[in-house]
């Protein structure tokens, strides 16, 4: 038995009409806009867990929850030829950092263009549980108003444990409490991801953390002095974000060395500047933060575009040998990736640069021209910004599988990601796991469709989706929650380019 996005949409429409409600009335009940209800009823929008629950409550229809019990899956018909243009959505990782940073602001924060994805839902549930008022304005704008006193003791532990972003509450909360608890961080299964770099940096500002049963127990001892020089032991993105947020509310000057200059860190710094924090060195490895003990401003901030989603969409064009235009690509964070693609023979046509809505990030439109690829001469590996992004590395596994020759993908950062990418072999790739960090890929690949379980890691799961679009036949990609964590309405957006991706719950229709 299965339910599809179309059948759920019909169920919702019938329930709405039975109550005599217009689409606008249902939208008001859901806290969204009429166009979103229209897309839901036509099966053209992903239904997140929170949206399913809100629909069931608004319409008094537990049947909706019953029909969507179990895992959400994708049915992908291939091979696909895509055409047309698609806009890159805003950054998931920047949104998570700025949502946490909104706790620093005693004023009203409005985030423009924030993605409606599962990861945002989880951190929203966390913030709501500690007293923050969140109000969606239309489809993708979010108003955030925090109370005078937060209540971390009432935190939603279930939501917190499903997102690694919970770690980024350490920096904001350490200025408000002498001690507090946070649940252990979750997220993708990518092997051991130590929190020690966070503790090392924040300890220089007075925070110590002890691991207790299921929680991080944080204790704060104020540090004397108004000048701090901190060298991060790891040039990590979330480590840098945590340290920057802590420094933003620490009066005096904090110099952070070996800092990440990556896209989400830059976006966070731009947001903090809107709050009145003085930050020098954005985009470099040395950040100088002049903190303030009180931040209170009514701000509106446009989150910038996501370079990882941009690379995903460019990869979709490459793997399916399609001519598409991916608009609003943040070029500063894609230049190394595009240089590697150029070496492999991939033609990309770039528009003149223009600015993101935040006024800072440089964007281009990228047209993918179908090309015959050859394997790169050297291994492909990530490096801290401005090198090839660790989250873009997986896409080169599926790209190299389409190229002629032998390629090596070297992921020195994560323990399990290469293992998850090995699942591309199930769709026909000639791919060998050399060790936990290295893949040997022989191409080109004749992709073949089949039923396959999605790995518990976001980017490898998307790579399987892209490969399935190039495969002949029907691929059922099972349990895709991890994709919905990081991408907003990806199947529907790809379908507008010519893909054939159906969302369903339960067993595949051909097995029912």
- Angle subtended at Cα 447 by Cα 444 and Cα 452, rounded to the nearest 5 degrees: 135
- Angle subtended at Cα 119 by Cα 464 and Cα 169, rounded to the nearest 5 degrees: 135
Q: Which residues contact 491 (CB under 8 A, 6 or more apart)?
A: 46, 74, 499, 501, 502, 503
Question: At 194, is the pLDDT very low, low, confident or very high (cuts 50, 70, 90)?
Answer: low
> pLDDT at residue 99 above 60?
yes
Name which of 418, 401, 416, 424 is nearest 477 in CA terms: 424
CA–CA dist 497, 230 (Å, integer): 48
Strands 83-87, 323-330: parallel, antiparallel or unpaired by DSSP? parallel
**Domain covering 2-69 in this structure, CATH number:** 1.10.260.40
Q: What percent of the chain has pLDDT over 70?
A: 97
Q: Three-state SS for 251?
A: coil
Name which of 40, 30, 45, 36 is nearest 10 in CA terms: 40
pLDDT in tens, 360-393: 999 999 999 999 999 999 999 999 999 999 999 9
CA–CA dist 261, 78 (Å, integer): 39
Q: Which two tokens stand for residue 488?
A: 């907003």
Question: At 121, is the pLDDT very low, low, confident or very high (cuts 50, 70, 90)?
Answer: confident
pLDDT of 185 reads 65
Distance spanning both ends of the chain, measured CA to CA: 5
Q: Classify domain 74-89+306-511 at the CATH topology level.
A: UDP-n-acetylglucosamine1-carboxyvinyl-transferase; Chain (3.65.10)
Cα dihedral angle (468, 471, 476, 482), rounded to 10 degrees? -10
DSSP character at residue 507: S
Q: Please, what is the average pLDDT of the chain?
A: 91
Q: What are phi and psi of 38, to 5 degrees?
A: -60, -45
Other CB atoms within 10 Å distance of the CB of residue 98: 26
**Domain 2-69 and domain 74-89+306-511 have a common topology:** no
Q: Three-state SS for 329?
A: strand
CA–CA dist 247, 286 (Å, integer): 13
DSSP character at residue 496: T
pLDDT of 189 reads 42
Q: Which two tokens stand for residue 282?
A: 């954005």
Residues facing residue 166 across a β-bridge: none
- Angle subtended at Cα 342 by Cα 339 and Cα 345, rounded to the nearest 5 degrees: 160
Q: Which two tokens stand for residue 192?
A: 């051991």
Q: How far is CA 433 from CA 48, 206, 425, in A?
A: 34, 43, 10
pLDDT in tens, 386-421: 999 999 999 999 999 999 999 999 998 877 788 899
3-state helix, strand, coil in the chain (%, to 5): 40, 25, 35
| Angle of helix 5-18 versus helix 23-30 axis, rounded to 10 | 100
Q: Three-state SS for 247?
A: helix
Q: What percent of the chain has pLDDT over 90?
A: 67
pLDDT in tens, 156-187: 988 888 777 888 999 999 999 999 998 876 54
| CB contact at 8 A, 483 and 465 | yes
> pLDDT at residue 226 above 60?
yes
pLDDT of 509 reads 63
CATH top class, domain 92-302: alpha beta
Q: Which two tokens stand for residue 266?
A: 């830059």
Residues facing residue 433 across a β-bridge: 439
Sorted by where each begins, the domain ranges of the chain are 2-69, 74-89+306-511, 92-302
Instruction: Please indicate whether residue 485 or residue 496 has the higher confidence score (pLDDT).
Output: 496
């Amino acid at each position: 038995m299965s339910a599809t996005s179309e059948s759920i949409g019909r169920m919702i429409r019938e329930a709405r009409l039975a109550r005599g409600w217009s689409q606008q009335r249902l939208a008001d009940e859901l806290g969204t806009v009429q166009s979103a209800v229209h897309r839901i009823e036509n099966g053209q929008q992903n239904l997140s867990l929170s949206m399913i629950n809100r629909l069931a409550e608004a319409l008094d229809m537990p049947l909706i929850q019953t029909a969507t019990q179990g895992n959400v899956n994708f049915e992908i018909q291939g091979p696909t030829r895509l055409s047309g243009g698609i806009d890159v959505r805003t950054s998931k990782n920047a949104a998570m950092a700025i949502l946490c940073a909104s706790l620093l602001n005693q004023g009203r924060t409005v985030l423009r263009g924030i993605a409606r994805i599962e990861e945002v839902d989880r951190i929203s549930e966390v913030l709501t549980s500690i007293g923050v008022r969140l109000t969606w304005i239309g489809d993708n704008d979010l108003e955030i108003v925090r109370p005078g006193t937060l209540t971390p003791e009432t935190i939603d532990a279930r939501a917190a444990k499903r997102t690694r972003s919970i770690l980024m509450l350490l920096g904001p909360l350490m200025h408000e409490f002498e001690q507090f608890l946070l649940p252990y961080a979750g997220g993708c299964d990518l092997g051991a991801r130590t929190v020690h770099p966070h503790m090392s940096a924040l300890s220089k500002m007075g925070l110590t953390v002890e691991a207790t049963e299921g929680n991080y127990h944080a204790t704060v001892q104020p540090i004397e002095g108004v000048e701090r020089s901190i060298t991060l032991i790891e040039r990590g993105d979330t480590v840098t974000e945590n340290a920057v947020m802590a420094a933003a509310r620490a009066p005096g000057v904090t110099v952070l060395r070996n800092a990440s200059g990556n896209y989400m860190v830059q976006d966070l710094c731009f947001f903090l500047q809107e709050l009145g924090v003085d930050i020098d060195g954005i985009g470099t490895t040395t950040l100088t933060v002049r903190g303030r003990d009180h931040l209170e401003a009514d701000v509106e901030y446009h989150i910038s575009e996501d370079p990882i989603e941009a690379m995903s969409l460019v990869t979709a064009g490459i793997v399916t040998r399609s001519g598409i235009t991916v608009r609003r690509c943040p070029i500063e964070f894609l230049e190394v990736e595009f240089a590697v693609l150029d070496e492999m023979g991939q033609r990309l046509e770039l528009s003149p640069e223009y600015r993101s809505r935040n006024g800072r990030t440089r964007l281009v439109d990228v047209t993918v021209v179908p090309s015959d690829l050859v394997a790169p001469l050297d291994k492909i590996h990530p490096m801290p910004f401005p090198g090839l992004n660790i989250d873009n590395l997986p896409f080169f596994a599926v790209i190299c599988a389409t190229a002629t020759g032998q390629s090596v993908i070297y992921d020195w950062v994560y323990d399990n990601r290469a293992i998850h990418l090995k699942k591309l072999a199930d769709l026909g790739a000639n791919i060998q796991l050399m060790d936990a960090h290295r893949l040997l890929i022989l191409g080109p690949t004749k992709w073949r469709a089949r039923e396959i379980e999605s790995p518990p890691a976001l980017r490898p799961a998307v790579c399987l989706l892209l490969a399935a679009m190039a495969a002949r036949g029907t691929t059922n990609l099972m349990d895709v929650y991890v994709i919905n964590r990081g991408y907003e309405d990806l199947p529907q957006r790809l379908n507008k380019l010519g893909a054939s991706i159906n969302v369903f719950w339960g067993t595949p229709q051909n097995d029912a």
